[in-house]
């Protein structure tokens, strides 16, 4: 197993251990951001935006102060929330409409958090390194987000 695969395997186990017995979504977002920000290399911002009405609203995060509200369809996060599709951007400056909360950010990985097929939040991970995120990062973070989604379903008696 590659070092990166090992790391994501370990982070997956730690995420399960951290959130499995806890139903509070905000508390879980806070701990998952802290865990990932501490363990992933070369990240300058990592956190959640929650979908509230027709906007994404800043949730638990690690890093510098950030934009509070992002309209749907705007920026990398807004596009992720609207399309429900992962956005893995090598160079955010080439992304039409990118919202520069921190001018030093160059690459971004945004994963939707879905419950019952609907986006309820996004996990945004930023790096100052161009092309920082590869397919393995995308898959590793997606598995962690899946655990997060399953936790919400299990604790709220919802259908996935």
List all residues 6 or more positions away from 60 whose beta carbon is below 8 Å from its beta carbon.
Answer: 26, 29, 30, 33, 47, 48
3-class SS at 65?
coil
Which 50-109 positions form the footprint of ligand SME (CB under 6 A)? Answer: 66-67, 70, 75-78, 98-99, 101, 105, 108
The reply on whether position 30 binds ligand SME by CB under 6 A is: no
CA distances from 36 to 2, 74, 89 (A): 18, 25, 19
**Which residue's CB is nearer to ligand SME, number 128 or number 143?**
128
Sheet holding 45-52, edge to edge: 69-71, 55-63, 45-52, 118-127, 107-115, 87-89
The reply on whether position 152 binds ligand SME by CB under 6 A is: no
Which 1-20 positions form the footprint of ligand SME (CB under 6 A)? Answer: none
Query: Going residue by residue from 125 to 144, which x/- string records binding to ligand SME, judged by CB under 6 A?
Result: -x------------------
The reply on whether position 29 binds ligand SME by CB under 6 A is: no
What residue ranges bind ligand SME (CB under 6 A)? Answer: 45, 66-67, 70, 75-78, 98-99, 101, 105, 108, 124, 126
């Amino acid at each position: 197993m590659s070092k990166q695969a090992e790391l994501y395997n370990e982070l997956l186990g730690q995420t399960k251990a951290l959130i499995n017995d806890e139903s509070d979504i905000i508390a879980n977002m806070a701990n998952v951001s802290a865990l990932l920000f501490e363990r992933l290399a070369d990240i300058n911002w990592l956190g959640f935006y929650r979908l509230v009405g027709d906007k994404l609203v800043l949730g638990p995060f690690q890093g510098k102060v950030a934009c509070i509200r992002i309209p749907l369809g705007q920026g990398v996060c807004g596009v992720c929330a609207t399309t429900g599709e992962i956005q893995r951007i090598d160079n955010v400056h080439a992304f039409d409409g990118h919202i520069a909360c921190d001018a030093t950010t160059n690459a971004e990985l945004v994963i939707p958090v879905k419950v019952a097929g609907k986006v309820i939040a996004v996990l945004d991970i930023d790096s100052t390194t161009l092309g920082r995120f590869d397919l393995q990062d995308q898959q590793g973070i997606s598995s962690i987000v899946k655990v997060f989604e399953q936790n919400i379903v299990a604790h709220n008696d919802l259908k996935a």
